[in-house]
Amino acid sequence: MSGALTLAAAFIIYSIYKYYKESQEEKEAEENRYFEELMSEKSETKENNELSLTSGDMDTRDLALRTLHSIGSEPIETEEGRIEFEYQGIRFIMEAVNDCAFVNLIWPWCHSFSKFDIDEFARVRQVVNDVNLRDTVSVVYTIADSDEVALHIKKNFIFLPQLPQIDEYLKLNLNSFFRTARTLDLEIEKHRMQECEKQV
């Protein structure tokens, strides 16, 4: 009787092991099939992306020029290959080339002050650092030959024909420059007022 029990227990253990082994092999085979399908989809997607990048579908510079016209700006192409245009009375510079999906947008000289004004320089430096930490644009300052420190706002963003409502998308990015310039002015003035209050 105990021999039959041992045999039955051995048979049950063997059946469980065999079932586990088969399910494990089946699971691995399914994972391998899924992985192969995924890799073939990725290679097809990569080939399609390479085709779209080389087939002329991505004429970023031409798209930028057309979009600027459609929002009411008159773009001018410079000798350096940049695009200058006015939007809401402000002169902007755009850097766009056809073989890149991104454009650089710059608002040069959005704010300036004398490089000899050390207090203003300290205020501006603090505000620029704060804005760069929180905002979607970058603010940089340069020292010009004319003894002035100039602030410039810059943003790099994707610009593809596949983007829906690309005119509104460009306006949204341009409007972020105005928001940042307003923040700069307000924060610089706030720091100035705080310094005045400390002196009283």
- 101 forms beta bridges with none
Q: What percent of the chain stands above pLDDT 90? A: 60
Strand partners, 105: 94, 155
Residue 77 belongs to domain with CATH number: 3.30.1460.10
Residues 46 and 64 in one domain: no
Q: List the strands of the sheet with 138-143, edge to edge.
A: 76-77, 83-87, 90-95, 102-114, 148-158, 138-143
Rounded to whole angstroms, how far apart are CA atoms 155 and 133?
A: 14
Higher pLDDT, 7 or 184: 184
The arithmetic mean of pLDDT across residues 107-130, rounded, is 93
> Same domain for 89 and 30?
no
Please tell me the predicted confidence (pLDDT) of residue 94: 98
Pairwise CA distance, residues 156 & 137, whole Å = 8
Q: Are residues 42 and 85 in the same domain?
A: no
Is the confidence at residue 23, as pLDDT, over 90?
Answer: no
Please state the domain count of the chain: 2
The whole-angstrom separation of Cα 115 and Cα 151 is 12
Which domain does 19 fall in, by range? 1-55
The residue-averaged pLDDT of 128-153 equals 92
pLDDT tens digit string along 82-105? Answer: 999 999 999 999 999 988 999 999
Domain check: are 111 and 186 in the same one? yes
